Structure 1
């Protein structure tokens, strides 16, 4: 099927964001209530969690709640505090050349995804990234030359914490270096296990192995797939081929040096490129971040779309995504 992707630019939260929220809210509301209302935390707890862990975002959160209409459910959803559990695939790696790049595949359901590139100037900082939950991000970069990306960490445990897309937003709003980002990722609680890879303008990088039930581990790993130091969920690991993808990337980075373009192109082919759309783990896009240059690119097997954080152009494009046998899992 052809799915519509949009690139939206709005310096301060306003009518464009409000229109997006009201367009997406019915689907997000159903997802947020899929376990019933009782498991979702109340508004007072959600806002307190933001004040405790990401206080810089509170004024922005309040403005977004206002634009969303001020409803209780919308405010609780937008806090990202203890959301319903969700799983994804994904591969990401740092190509460490003269001009290092962060490359990632996002593997998820084609029908449960914003398909939005957002450039914002919120809180005085320009951020460009791939939207999730309408203000969270699954990958992105800021005007300080910091880029971040996430993969699911391959563990079943769900705990007290935030949905990680909001944590990525917080990193890009408040940090300029990999070291600063590592400190944030080590202290902000996440509700599930995720691997977050960071690359900054001085070519420094790290990967944080985050979990709700143990301290985050800050590593110098240049590769992350869908497990942490060991495989803990065997059936998920087999289904997503996380070990095979990790080994494939490590071999390409350590056994021989290859040109940047060849390394990026590998993400558009198996074993990195997934066709498991019927299971909700098909590759929806490949993202290439060049944070020192303020540039990023989305790629698909038959299309590409380039963006510049300093010269962003709003647009919309229909991108073909295989959808055969799709089902909700």
Structure 2
């Protein structure tokens, strides 16, 4: 896998270059059910105005950099996108410093491999990019960190793709409490578990769904189901219950160091080799809110990225199969 770390404080030529590079594949995915299956431009913009008005100036600027075409503008709203599945595990290490650790299990053929640092709307944000301006995990300069896992439900409804929801949280929130309030009201098109932790060690997990109200829980572990398993075949294939139990046991039965806890994510049962099925572990992310830093890890490799002293670079990673 080829990774790139990109630093562009305001939207400009670097973002426009990423759009030109990734748009053909994203467009093919977005129209796979036909463009009429996706909301029109006015519906998409009105949804942003209603639910995420703070992002509207940024959205309009990005649409301009993307060329202003109808399909690109509708795609960038990320309102009611095509459904997609991932696996993932995430947990908070219960030490003196808050540390959020997550595995991202997804297809390597549908992944940007981009870490992006921005200062959009006056706030520094660093995270793993998805859909060109969304994030699947990240941290902001207030010391708020966030990550997601798929919620293990088939239901698809009206709402936003979760990467844009994470972007919104990091752009507009400073505490776990503020993030929880945002996650409670934002509509999502599929079910996701979003864990947030702030620099004061306050944390929560939001169980979001398109067909029912979000549930906020003071829990530090999330895999691929919510309060109970609702999709049996997906749960068996991804071993969501077994991974959750494994993490809970490590948090309650073992007193171990931060490094040992992180190391558990780099080998089975948390580390997945199901790359051919689209659920292999592409990376392990480590977020330290008080230190304002992010790490990406693979077995045998560590990539350290401070939010306030960020270096652009590229990295080639050989993803192991156990």
- Into which bin does the TM-score normalised by the smaller protein fall? over 0.9
Counterpart contact for 1:288–1:298, Cα < 8 Å: yes
User: Residue in 1 aligned with 2:19?
Assistant: 21
Q: How far did 1:100 drift? A: 1.5
Q: What's the C-alpha RMSD, in Å, of the aligned pairs?
A: 1.0
User: Residue in 2 aligned with 1:30?
Assistant: 28
Distance in 2, Cα, partners of 1:15 & 1:136 = 18
User: Residue in 2 aligned with 1:39?
Assistant: 37
Distance in 1, Cα, partners of 2:288 & 2:34 = 42
User: Residue in 2 aligned with 1:326?
Assistant: none
Q: Deviations over 1:50-98 (max 9, x none)?
A: 0000000000000000000000000000000000000000000000211
Map 1:42-61 to 2 at 5 A: 42-61=40-59
Q: How many residues align?
A: 322
Distance in 2, Cα, partners of 1:17 & 1:265 = 33
Q: Does 1:81 align with 2:74?
A: no
Distance in 1, Cα, partners of 2:19 & 2:237 = 33
Counterpart contact for 2:8–2:118, Cα < 8 Å: yes
Distance in 2, Cα, partners of 1:187 & 1:100 = 26
Match of 1:225 among 204, 217, 223: 223
Match of 2:198 among 197, 200, 207: 200
Distance in 2, Cα, partners of 1:65 & 1:134 = 11
Match of 1:177 among 175, 178, 185: 175
Q: Does 1:240 align with 2:246?
A: no
Q: Deviations over 1:284-312 (max 9, x none)?
A: 00000001101110000121100000000
Q: Does 1:302 align with 2:294?
A: no
Map 1:272-291 to 2 at 5 A: 272-291=270-289
Distance in 1, Cα, partners of 2:270 & 2:73 = 37
Q: Which runs of 5+ in 2 are unaligned?
A: none
Q: How far did 1:36 drift? A: 1.2
Q: Deviations over 1:22-45 (max 9, x none)?
A: 000000000101111121000000
Counterpart contact for 1:277–1:322, Cα < 8 Å: no
Distance in 1, Cα, partners of 2:94 & 2:163 = 25
Distance in 1, Cα, partners of 2:92 & 2:186 = 24
Distance in 1, Cα, partners of 2:169 & 2:15 = 21
* SS of residue matched to 2:7: strand
Distance in 1, Cα, partners of 2:25 & 2:304 = 29
Q: Does 1:186 align with 2:196?
A: no
TM-score norm. by structure 2 comes to 0.99
Counterpart contact for 2:98–2:199, Cα < 8 Å: no
**Deviating 4+ runs (over 3 angstroms):** none
Distance in 2, Cα, partners of 1:257 & 1:33 = 49
